[in-house]
Amino acid sequence: MSSVFAQVEDMLAAGAEDLFACYGTSSTAVRNQHPAETDEEKVVATIGWACEDGSRGNLLMVAPRSVIEHLQPPEEGMVLTNADICDVLGEFSNMLLGRLKNMLLQKGVALMLSTPTTVLVKEPWFSTPLGRWSWMAFDMSVGSAHVRLDATFTEEFVLSEERSALAPELAEGEMMLF
């Protein structure tokens, strides 16, 4: 049996592939792929999570403007501002963590989520988290989005083999920017 981290990482990869597909982009997770150093500005979105048992972690998304505009094209005659670009990736990080939350709920684990924080940067620097972590790249025709899962699991964090009664039948919604 694979480690809890590997199982959660697999769920996150599947959730990201599904999320990008909902926005018209086919992409497969490429594991252990860090964001490349380029001169292009990138948006970084981070959103945290925790469980009652003390397990906790963070989801980090990194993407250049070209990828974000591909995922959420501006309406005709409109230009996405820096704030719009940050909002879009912040909402994508929220939707992705929401998908992971729904998958974990089916395994009997309830996550509590924070709100996303975003920043537009030229040269992002990422610290090494205390727990386990892994990067994934999602290559698209216009560039790549990267996702990093950071997690510290307690011994009480257990994924049920059977569908949990905690999990209602849910369908993820569409992006809401306001």
- Is residue 133 assigned to a domain? yes
- Is residue 175 assigned to a domain? no
- Is residue 38 assigned to a domain? no
82: how many CB neighbours lie within 10 A of its CB? Answer: 12
Q: Integer distance in angstroms from the first to the last C-alpha of the chain?
A: 43
Q: Is the pLDDT of residue 114 over 50?
A: yes
Exposure b/e, 28-46, CB count within 10 A at least 16 = b: ebeeebebeeeeeebbbbb
Enumerate the H helices of the chain as residue ranges. 4-22, 65-71, 82-106
What 3-state class would DSSP assign to 18? Answer: helix
The model's pTM is 0.88
What 3-state class would DSSP assign to 26? Answer: coil
Q: Is the pLDDT of residue 1 over 50?
A: no
- Is residue 116 assigned to a domain? yes
* pLDDT recorded at residue 5: 95
Number of domains in the chain: 1
* pLDDT recorded at residue 79: 86
Tokens of 79: 């230009």
- Is residue 69 assigned to a domain? yes
The dihedrals phi and psi of 67, each to the nearest 5 degrees, come to -70, -45
Distance CA 178, CA 170 (A): 23
Q: Which residue has the tokens 């005709």?
A: 76
Interval 1-24 mean pLDDT: 90
- Is residue 165 assigned to a domain? no
Q: Note the pLDDT tens digit of each residue in 68-107.
A: 988 888 788 888 899 999 999 999 999 999 999 999 999 9
- Is residue 173 assigned to a domain? no
Which residues span the domain enclosing 75? 4-31+50-152
CATH number at residue 137: 3.40.1550.10
- Is residue 167 assigned to a domain? no
